[in-house]
Homo-oligomer: A and B are copies of this chain.
Amino acid sequence: VKPVGESSVRRLSLYLRFLDDEEGRGRRTISSEALAALAGTTSAQVRKDLSQFGSFGIRGTGYDCAALRGRLREILGLEREWRVIIVGAGKIGAALAQYPGFGDRGFRVVGVYDADPAKIGSRWGQVRVQSPAKLATDVKRLDAQIAVLAVPAAVAQEMLGQVAKAGVRAVLNFAPIPLIAPRGVTVQSVNMAQELEALSYALAHAPAPATKSKRSRGTG
């Protein structure tokens, strides 16, 4: 199976979400049209996304939900455990470690690191917070594949370099700064500050709402 584009991978995630939902409701088959409507795309795009990984559809019947779901989980690498280290033992890291979707995807936290001496040694679920100085040896020792960066912007690129050098190849970055990914390392960023400021910007620059009509509210 050859790697596909990022937008295609994001749609595969969406298809899987709907199959999870539909299976819960007892649905047996689903059409590319139904998947397309749910994911906000076209049925041609759905068929194209899925055909990259083999042929699943049955003409006139659509896709078998259970089979497609299993195949998507396999394609997305969800049928095995991934070992995760969290760098930055603050609130974002804690929230993520508790996020049910984290464990559901086989992401298991095996190490937590923080430069604050007051935090080192404290318990985080099954692990204890360690100094970042341990990263160089811990990544290999713990067989960690993924690092979550929940550190201040000023040190994020430096910490990315450290975890990459230690052998991590996939990073989820929560620092509000664009990072330059080292070669062979995939970095996904969640920038909550940008999302929040996009909302406050939109509100600050929205036209005054119509006061008479109940339905028309102006364009944003």
Contact = CB atoms under 8 A, between A and B. Distances in A.
Interface in A44-82: 75-78, 80, 82
Contacts of A14: 176-178, 194
Given A82-B203, A220-B186, A197 B95 contact: no
Contacts of A198: 6, 9-10, 13, 186, 188
B82 A91 contact: no
Contact of A101 (B3, B181, B193): B193
Interface residues of A, number: 76
Interface string A112-144: 000000000000000000000000000000000
A170 B193 contact: no
Contacts of A154: 21
A161 interface: no
Interface in A191-215: 191-206, 209
Nearest to A204: B77
**Most chain-B CB neighbours within 10 Å: which of A3, A154, A190, A200?**
A200
